[in-house]
Structure 1
Amino acid sequence: MFDYTVETSKNISEAIYSLEENLKEEKFGVLWMFDIKDKLQEKGLEFESDYKVLEVCNPHEAQRVLKENLLVGYFLPCKMIVYTDQGKTKIGMPRPTALINLANNEEIKKLAQDIEVRLISCINKSI
């Protein structure tokens, strides 16, 4: 699977708050949060599900992977999604290892695996 997604009993605001707090423990910060539902509705398009895209980054990790290969910057920052689906709140992300395999570099794959484990831990603590 290219993604890691879990369901939580929290509402979307609680899930985002919890995720942000857990990301801080791993030295990841939210650079930007994009509200897709609001943007689509602003453009006159119907979209009922709350759908927030968080772009997260740990500057030290970004530096580590960029030193290995500048093209890895195409995958940065990491995206995390918090959304509702049929009344249930979900938290997920594309797996860094799934994307980084395209770079075909063993050292970067190791770094991506470490980052993925830490981000999954943040998601799991946010449930």
Structure 2
Amino acid sequence: MFHYTVETNKSVEEAVESLEANLKDEQFGVLWNFDLKGKLNEKGLEFEDDFRVLEVCNPKEAQRVLNQNKMAGYFLPCKVVVYKEQDQTRIGMPKPSSLTQMVNDDQILAMAEDIESRLIHCMDKSI
């Protein structure tokens, strides 16, 4: 599967707050917290469900990945989404290991798997 997704009974806002705190513990910063529903509504488009896109980055990991292979930058920063669907809040991300397979670099894949496991840990703690 190209993604990892968990469900929580928290609201989208509560899940985002919990996720941000857990990411910080793993030295990931949230570069951008994009409110997709708000932006679509602002543009006059109807979209009912809360949907957030968080761009997250660990600067040391980003530097390490880019020093190994600049093409890995195509996948940076990592994205984590938090959204409401059918009265259930979901937290999900495309797996870095799935994305970086396209670079065809075993060292990048190993780095991506490490980052992925840390992001999954943050998501699981946010449930």
The alignment's TM-score, normalised by the length of structure 2, stands at 0.99
SS in 1 for 2:121: helix
Aligned to 2:88: 88
After the TM superposition, which residues 44-123 of structure 1 pair with which residues of structure 2 at under 5 Å, given as runs? 44-123=44-123
CA distance in 1, matches of 2:63, 2:108: 12
Q: % of aligned pairs identical?
A: 62
CA distance in 1, matches of 2:41, 2:11: 21
Aligned to 2:43: 43
After the TM superposition, which residues 12-31 of structure 1 pair with which residues of structure 2 at under 5 Å, given as runs? 12-31=12-31
CA distance in 2, matches of 1:97, 1:15: 24
Deviations 1:101-121 (A, max 9, x none): 000000000000000000000
Deviations 1:59-114 (A, max 9, x none): 00000100011111110000000000011111010000000000000000000000
Q: CA deviation at 1:126?
A: 0.3
SS in 1 for 2:17: helix
CA distance in 2, matches of 1:95, 1:105: 16
State the Cα RMSD in Å. 0.5
SS in 1 for 2:111: helix
SS in 2 for 1:64: helix
What 5-or-longer segments of structure 2 have no aligned partner? none
Structure 1 runs (4+) greater than 6 angstroms displaced: none
CA distance in 1, matches of 2:107, 2:27: 21
SS in 1 for 2:47: coil
